[in-house]
């Protein structure tokens, strides 16, 4: 015993040394873990720096977007200005055309004035002086206008210089932004290189850590071998130590396996980070390329804007020139009008001079020669002025043509610019999409890195806990075990661990069942909170379902579960029948709605036709009233009424005679068709009498027709139907009022029907929602059943962390357009002041002209007598024309009667067309209803397919669970066999212990302990057998559930086949209806085309 104690002390010392070495290794591992954590913190900081850099890049991109938007706004403003300029140019073109016409008229007037000026001999000096002063004033005005134009040009040049400066500043800002982007890219590259180096260091440290772990594993194996050599000792202390060492070795092996897994995960994460970095680099390269393309595009836009501004300035200058030319032309026109008035005055004076010359010829001969010479000089001056005006007109035409060409070029450039802007917008959208994708990828990378960091932290914490849980002492437990086999002890320990795991799993499942019960209670409370009026039926159903849930909880472990499943299947069938009933109600409501719509459309068509007929009748009434007022009222109304009565009586007689003739003809035809026996029955006398009566009737009919024609010719000359037409119009107005009242009533009824339909739709929506809630409750019940019976592993979804980057746009003010408009307003004000001055001068001229008009009024009195004579002659011609118009009115009346007859035919044809159109609309509506039904059926089929897929997925999950349960059952059976073997082995041990107790009286305490342990093991074996029985029962229940689910799947498949067959049938029916409707529509179109041709032919005949 002393030797054994010495050996045990030595072994204890060796074990203490091993434990101290292990503690040192654990401390070194903790240090490495702390270093890794610090490195992870640095990595997270670097990730945050990268996020900040990305935020800065996004801000820069937002700035570029804002600049692009501002430039687009400027472009839109320029487009608007160009549109306004185009409008002004079109107006100017029209005015120039009018001015050309006026110039031609003025040239003609000038030619007439020249011919008249040859006859004028006096009072030319005053006129010449006056014209010279006016021309000088015009020249001074033109000079002022030129100075104003030069000033405006200078202002525009200064504004262009300012715009150039702003463009250069923008270029400098873009260059600065590019340099900053390059710096940011360089910093990112350096950061990526640093990250790569740090990852390499981490990989090296991980490799070193793996080597250390392998060395420690070798050491542990050596210690295990040494302890296995010492295991052959007979003491219980050595056995206990051996067991502890085996447990430690197993724990260390588990730790090694976990560390290997962590290393593999780190390698995978490293590869993923490499891939993410490569993708981020590619995205940054794409962004830099896109930014360069944007800069080039911005420069092009700036150049284009500068060109457009220059073109706009040129256009403004041309517009100003055109306005000056307009003013000059207006002044010339006014001067020409003044010239005309003066020429008229000169004519009067010339006449007076001629009278004076006739009185005193010999005295005025030398004076006339002087006047003639002066007039010739004036004529030469006027010809020179005319030539100069023609040259100016030619120049104006050339400038106008040049402006038109420039406008065409500007329009082309605008179209090109629009295309470029559209391309830029498309590129801008692509840039935004790429930027968003890159941001999403970066966020995903950051999330993955955070997940890896969290995983590493959790693994390190678990390692620490495992290391801290190792006990330092080896001699705390009892030293009472005998020399038995190693396998038995190891199996014993494993069985305990597995039993503990099973107990924990059962506790977790109980907790899950409690949570599900709480959820069911909360759902029942939510359902109770619904309105009692609308959901009375649902509350009853939910109460039944709650009772069923309680019954399910009570009968989960009982074999009477099949009956509950069948009951649930019956309820599902009842719900399906209720759903079909609701669908049938829906179909009926849709049919009623379609019928109401068709009725409404028919009524609208009828009302529209009546309104059109009313309008036509009113127009005809107005025409007839106008004709009645214009025509003469020679014949009295009483004679017209008498004639109309006589005509009606004769018409009635003619109708009666025609009916008699028709009856006689039918008798003759029947007599000719019948057999010879029937011919013998008719008397020859009767036949001859009938023939005589027919001849007499024919003669009477001819006479009556001739008399009728005579009467019609007399009545056509008169206006016999005015009173009758007025009565008909009153009747029609009464009918229209009645129809309008009926229409209003129908509209009210239709609105009521629409409201009822909407209410029905709302009710149906509520019913569908209630059905959906019921289906959800059924699904929840099925889920709870499945969870209670078999789902033992629940997975909680991971939390997701999302980050969003927001960028605030910048605003850039622009004030260049306001300066342009201010300068233009100043120029317009100056022109207005100038026009006011010219108007004052023109008022003075008007006063002089009024005085000249007074003189002309005296001359007009003489011409009035001549005009009276002309009017008398014109009156005679008017009388002749009135006679001709009376003749034409008579012919028009005859044609009006023909038109009325044709109009009646047209109305009948239109009514037929309206009937056909209503039939076509009904057919179209039926087709649409059938299409809607097919769509509804297709939706139902899709839902059934989805339900089948869900059930199939559930069945697959159940099969997988069943297989897993079978595997666990096999494992449990193997474990039971092992436990039985261990039980037998323990019985043998007990026998050996009893023998040893008889031999050794001192070891009574050890025997009692062993007996207690044997009893506990027996109890555990019994409990394990009970658990095995419960698991077998659960497996049987699962098998029953799988069979029930298979039956449900077969039932749903058969239902799918039936629905597919119904769909095919409905499609074929629809195709047939569509074919028939298309054929009928084509036939109706052919009829319409024929009727339209007939109508056209009739209209052409009427017009001819």
Q: What does the alpha-carbon distance between residue 763 and residue 586 come to, in Å, rounded to a whole number?
A: 11
Give the pLDDT band (50/70/90) at residue 20. confident
Alpha carbons 530 and 524: distance in angstroms, whole number = 10
Helix axis angle, 1004-1103 to 486-528, nearest 10°: 40
Res. 1064: pLDDT tops 50: yes
Here the contacts of 440-444 (C-beta below 8 Å, separation 24 or greater) are 441/276, 441/279, 441/280, 441/283, 442/50, 442/51, 442/54, 442/280, 443/802, 443/803
Residue 1066: the pLDDT is: 77
C-alpha pair distances (Å), 905 with each of 610, 651, 912 = 16, 20, 11
Q: Give 798's DSSP letter.
A: P
Mean of pLDDT values over 657-680: 56
pLDDT digits (tens, 9 = 90+) for 865-894: 666 666 666 667 667 767 766 776 676 677
The residue length of the chain stands at 1104
Rounded to an integer, the average pLDDT of 158-168 is 69
Q: Taking 60 as the threshold, does the pLDDT of residue 778 lie above it?
A: yes
What is the structure's pLDDT at 732? 65
- Which of these, 657, 739, 642, 762, lies nearest to 699 by C-alpha position? 657
- pLDDT (tens digit per residue) in 822-847: 565 566 567 667 766 766 676 676 66
For 446-462, write each residue's pLDDT tens digit.
Answer: 676 667 666 666 665 66
Using the predicted structure, report yes or no on whether residue 622 has a pLDDT greater than 60: yes
Share of the chain above pLDDT 70, in %: 39
Specify the range with the lowest mean pLDDT, choosing from 216-225, 226-235, 1050-1059.
226-235
Specify the DSSP element, H or E, that contains 30: helix 2-117
CA 226 to each of CA 219, 242, 246, 279: distance values in angstroms, whole numbers, following the listed order: 11, 10, 12, 55
Q: Which of 445, 363, 559, 467 is nearest to 43 (CA)?
A: 445
- Residue 801's pLDDT band, with cuts at 50, 70 and 90, is very low
Which of 106, 103, 112 has the alpha carbon at shortest distance from 393? 103
Rounded mean pLDDT of 934-953?
A: 75
C-alpha–C-alpha distance, residues 929 and 592, integer Å: 11
Mean pLDDT of 197-206: 73
Window from 64-73, 244-253, 420-429 with minimum mean pLDDT: 420-429
Question: For 1012-1038, how does the pLDDT look when each residue is reduced to its tens digit (9 = 90+)?
Answer: 776 776 677 677 667 767 777 777 777
**Beta carbons of 270 and 199 less than 8 angstroms apart:** yes
* pLDDT at residue number 438: 67
Mean pLDDT on 777-804: 55
CA-based torsion, 905, 911, 914, 915: positive or negative? negative
Q: Rounded to an integer, what distance in angstroms lies between the CA atom of residue 778 and that of residue 520?
A: 12
Model pLDDT for residues 311-331, shown as the tens digit of each residue: 777 777 777 777 777 777 777
Distance (Å, whole) CA 353 – CA 342: 16
Q: What is the pTM of this model?
A: 0.22
Predicted confidence at residue 798, as pLDDT, reads: 37
Q: Tell me the pLDDT tens digit for each residue of 591-617.
A: 766 676 676 666 667 666 666 666 676
988 pLDDT band, cuts 50/70/90, is: confident
Which of 243-252, 463-472, 743-752, 1060-1069 has the least mean pLDDT? 463-472
pLDDT, position 673:
54
Terminal Cα distance for the chain, rounded: 150
CA angle 768/773/778 to nearest 5° reads 125
Tell me, what's the pLDDT at 97?
A: 76
Q: What is the pLDDT of residue 952?
A: 72
What is the rounded distance in angstroms from the CA atom of residue 350 to the CA atom of residue 153? 52
Q: What pLDDT band is residue 814 in, cutting at 50, 70 and 90?
A: very low
Q: Is the dihedral of CA 125, 127, 130, 134 positive or negative?
A: negative
Q: What is the pLDDT of residues 334-388, one digit of tens each?
A: 776 677 677 667 677 767 777 776 665 444 444 556 666 666 676 677 767 767 7
User: CA nearest 600: which of 911, 909, 925?
Assistant: 925
Q: Residues 725-764, buried b or exposed e (16+ Cβ, 10 A)? A: beeebeebeeebeebeeebeebeeebeebeeebeeeeeee
Q: Which residue has the higher pLDDT, 250 or 572?
A: 250
Question: Out of 30-34, 378-382, 1081-1085, which region has the weakest mean confidence (pLDDT)?
Answer: 378-382
Token digits of residue 969? 């059952």
Task: Give the pair of three-digit tokens for residue 634.
Answer: 């020679």
What was the pLDDT predicted at 638? 62
Per the prediction, the chain carries an average pLDDT of 67
Which has the higher per-residue pLDDT, 500 or 1080? 1080
Helix extents (H) in 469-535: 486-528
Least confident residue range of 348-352, 641-645, 656-660, 805-809:
805-809
Tokens of 631: 């025509």
Integer angstrom CA distances of residue 67 from 209, 291, 841, 994, 1065: 55, 13, 54, 99, 62
Per-residue confidence (pLDDT) for residue 887, from 0 to 100: 74
Compute CA distances 878 → 6, 1044, 1104, whole Å.
162, 108, 28
More confident residue, 539 or 172: 172
Residue 153 has pLDDT above 80, yes or no: no
Neighbouring C-beta atoms of residue 863, cutoff 10 Å? 8
**Residue pair 184/49 in contact by the 8 Å Cβ criterion:** no
Given this model, what pLDDT does residue 59 score? 78
For tokens 């074996």, the residue is 1021
Three-state SS string across 982-995, please? HHHHHHHHHHHHHH
Segment holding 713, helix H or strand E: helix 684-717
Helices (H) and strands (E) in the chain, counts: 13, 0
Residue pair 94/415 in contact (Cβ under 8 Å)? The answer is: no
- pLDDT by residue (tens digit) across 69-124? 776 777 777 667 667 766 766 776 677 677 667 767 777 776 776 676 666 655 55
Alpha helices in 469-485, H assignment, sequence order:
none
The answer to whether 986 and 481 have CB atoms below 8 angstroms apart is: no
Angstrom distance (rounded) from CA 951 to CA 1045: 8
What's the rounded Cα separation, in Å, for the pair 300 and 480?
Answer: 96
- Both tokens of 238, joined, read 């050595």
Q: Is the pLDDT of residue 651 over 80?
A: no
Candidate from 156-165, 234-243, 613-622, 753-762 with smallest mean pLDDT: 234-243
Residues with Cβ within 8 Å of 335's Cβ and at least 6 positions away in sequence, in order, are 131, 134
Q: Mean pLDDT lowest for which of 27-36, 169-178, 914-923?
A: 169-178
Rg (CA), the chain: 57
Residue 822's alpha-carbon distances to 76, 302, 318, 829, in angstroms, are: 20, 23, 19, 11
């Amino acid at each position: 015993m002393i030797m054994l104690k010495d050996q045990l002390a030595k072994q204890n010392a060796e074990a203490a040394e091993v434990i101290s070495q292990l503690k040192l290794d654990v401390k070194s591992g903790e240090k490495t873990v702390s270093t890794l954590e610090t490195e992870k913190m640095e990595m997270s900081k670097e990730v945050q720096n990268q996020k900040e850099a990305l935020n800065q890049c996004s801000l820069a991109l937002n700035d570029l977007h804002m600049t692009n938007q501002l430039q687009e706004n400027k472009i839109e403003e320029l487009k608007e200005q160009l549109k306004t300029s185009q409008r002004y140019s079109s107006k100017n073109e029209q005015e120039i055309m009018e001015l050309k016409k006026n110039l031609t008229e003025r040239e003609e007037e000038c030619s007439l004035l020249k011919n008249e000026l040859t006859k004028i001999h006096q009072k030319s000096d005053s006129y010449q002086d006056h014209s010279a002063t006016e021309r000088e004033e015009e020249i001074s005005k033109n000079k002022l206008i030129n100075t104003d134009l030069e000033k405006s040009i200078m202002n525009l040049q200064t504004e262009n210089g300012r715009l150039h400066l702003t463009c250069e500043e923008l270029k400098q800002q873009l260059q600065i932004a590019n340099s900053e982007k390059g710096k940011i890219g360089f910093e990112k590259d350096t950061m990526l290189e640093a990250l790569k180096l740090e990852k390499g260091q981490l990989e090296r440290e991980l490799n070193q850590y793996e080597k250390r772990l392998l060395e420690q594993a070798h050491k542990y194996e050596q210690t295990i071998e040494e302890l296995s050599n010492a295991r052959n000792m007979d003491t219980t202390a050595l056995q206990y130590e051996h067991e502890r060492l085996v447990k430690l070795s197993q724990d260390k092996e588990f730790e090694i396996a976990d560390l290997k897994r962590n290393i593999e995960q780190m390698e995978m994460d490293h590869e993923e980070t490499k891939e993410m970095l490569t993708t981020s680099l590619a995205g940054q390269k794409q962004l830099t390329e896109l930014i360069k393309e944007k800069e080039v595009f911005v420069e092009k836009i700036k150049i284009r804007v500068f060109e457009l501004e220059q073109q706009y300035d040129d256009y403004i200058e041309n517009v100003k020139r055109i306005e000056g030319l307009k003013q000059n032309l207006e002044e010339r026109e006014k001067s020409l009008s003044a010239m005309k008035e003066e020429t008229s005055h000169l004519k009067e004076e010339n006449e007076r001079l001629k009278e004076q010359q006739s009185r005193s010829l010999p005295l005025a001969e030398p004076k006339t020669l002087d006047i003639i010479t002066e007039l010739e000089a004036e004529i030469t001056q006027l010809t020179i002025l005319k030539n100069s005006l023609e040259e100016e007109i030619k120049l104006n035409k050339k400038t106008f043509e040049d402006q038109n060409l420039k406008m065409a070029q500007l329009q082309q450039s605008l179209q090109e610019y629009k295309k470029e802007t559209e391309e830029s917008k498309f590129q801008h959208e692509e840039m935004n999409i790429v930027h968003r994708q890159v941001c999403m990828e970066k966020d995903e990378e950051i999330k993955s890195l955070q997940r890896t960091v969290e995983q590493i932290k959790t693994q390190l914490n678990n390692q620490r806990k495992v290391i801290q849980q190792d006990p330092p002492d080896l001699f705390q437990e009892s030293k009472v075990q005998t020399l038995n086999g190693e396998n038995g002890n190891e199996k014993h320990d494993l069985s305990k661990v597995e039993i503990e795991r099973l107990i924990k799993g059962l506790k977790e499942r109980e907790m899950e069942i409690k949570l599900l019960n709480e959820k069911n209670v909360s759902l029942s409370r939510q359902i109770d909170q619904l309105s009692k009026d609308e959901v009375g039926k649902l509350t009853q159903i939910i109460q039944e379902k709650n009772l069923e849930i309680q019954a399910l909880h009570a009968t989960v472990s009982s074999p009477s579960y099949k009956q509950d499943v069948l009951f649930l299947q019956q309820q599902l069938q009842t719900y399906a029948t209720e759903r079909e009933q609701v669908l049938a109600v829906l179909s009926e409501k849709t049919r009623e709605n379609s019928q109401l719509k068709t009725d409404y459309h028919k009524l609208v068509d009828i009302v529209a036709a009546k309104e059109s007929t009313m309008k036509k009748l009113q127009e005809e009434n107005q025409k007839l009233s106008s004709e009645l007022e214009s025509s003469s009222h020679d014949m009295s109304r009483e004679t017209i009424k008498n004639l109309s009565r006589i005509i009606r009586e004769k018409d009635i007689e003619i109708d009666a005679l025609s009916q008699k003739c028709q009856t006689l003809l039918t008798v003759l035809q029947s007599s000719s068709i019948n057999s010879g026996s029937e011919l013998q029955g008719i008397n020859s006398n009767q036949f001859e009498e009938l023939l005589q009566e027919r001849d007499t009737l024919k003669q009477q009919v001819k006479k009556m027709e001739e008399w009728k024609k005579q009467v019609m010719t007399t009545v056509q000359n008169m206006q016999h139907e005015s009173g009758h037409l007025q009565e008909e119009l009153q009747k029609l107005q009464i009918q229209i009022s009645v129809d309008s009242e009926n229409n209003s009533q129908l509209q009210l009824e239709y609105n009521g029907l629409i409201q009822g339909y909407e209410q029905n739709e709302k009710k149906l929506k509520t019913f569908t929602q209630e059905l959906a809630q019921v289906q959800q409750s059924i699904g929840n019940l099925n889920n709870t059943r499945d969870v209670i019976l078999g789902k033992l592993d629940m997975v909680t979804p991971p939390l997701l962390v999302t980050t969003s980057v927001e960028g605030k746009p910048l605003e850039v003010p622009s004030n260049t357009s306001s300066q342009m408009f201010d300068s233009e307003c100043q120029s317009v004000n100056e022109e207005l002041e100038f026009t006011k001055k010219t108007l004052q001068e023109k008022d003075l001229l008007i006063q002089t002209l009024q005085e000249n008009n007074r003189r002309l009024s005296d001359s007009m009195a003489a011409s009035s007598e001549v005009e009276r004579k002309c009017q008398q002659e014109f009156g005679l011609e008017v009388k002749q024309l009135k006679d001709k118009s009376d003749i034409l009115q008579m012919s028009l009346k005859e044609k009006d009667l023909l038109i009325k007859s044709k109009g009646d035919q047209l109305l009948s044809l239109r009514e037929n067309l309206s009937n056909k159109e209503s039939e076509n609309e009904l057919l179209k509506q039926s087709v649409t209803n059938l299409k809607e039904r097919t769509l509804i059926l297709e939706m139902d089929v899709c839902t059934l397919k989805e339900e089948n897929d869900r059930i199939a997925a559930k069945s697959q999950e159940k099969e997988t669970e069943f297989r897993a349960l079978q595997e666990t059952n096999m494992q449990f059976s193997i474990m039971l066999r092992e436990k039985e073997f261990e039980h037998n082995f323990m019985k043998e041990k007990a026998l050996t212990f009893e023998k040893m107790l008889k031999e050794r009286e001192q070891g009574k305490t050890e025997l009692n302990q062993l007996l207690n342990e044997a009893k506990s093991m027996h109890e555990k074996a019994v409990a394990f057998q009970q658990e095995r029985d419960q698991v077998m029962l659960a497996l049987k229940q699962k098998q029953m559930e799988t069979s029930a689910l298979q039956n449900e799947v077969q039932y749903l498949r058969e239902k799918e086949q039936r629905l597919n067959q119904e769909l095919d049938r409905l499609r074929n029916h629809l195709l047939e209806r569509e074919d028939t409707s298309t054929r009928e529509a084509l036939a109706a179109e052919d009829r319409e085309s024929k009727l339209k041709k007939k109508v056209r032919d009739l209209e052409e005949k009427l017009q001819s």
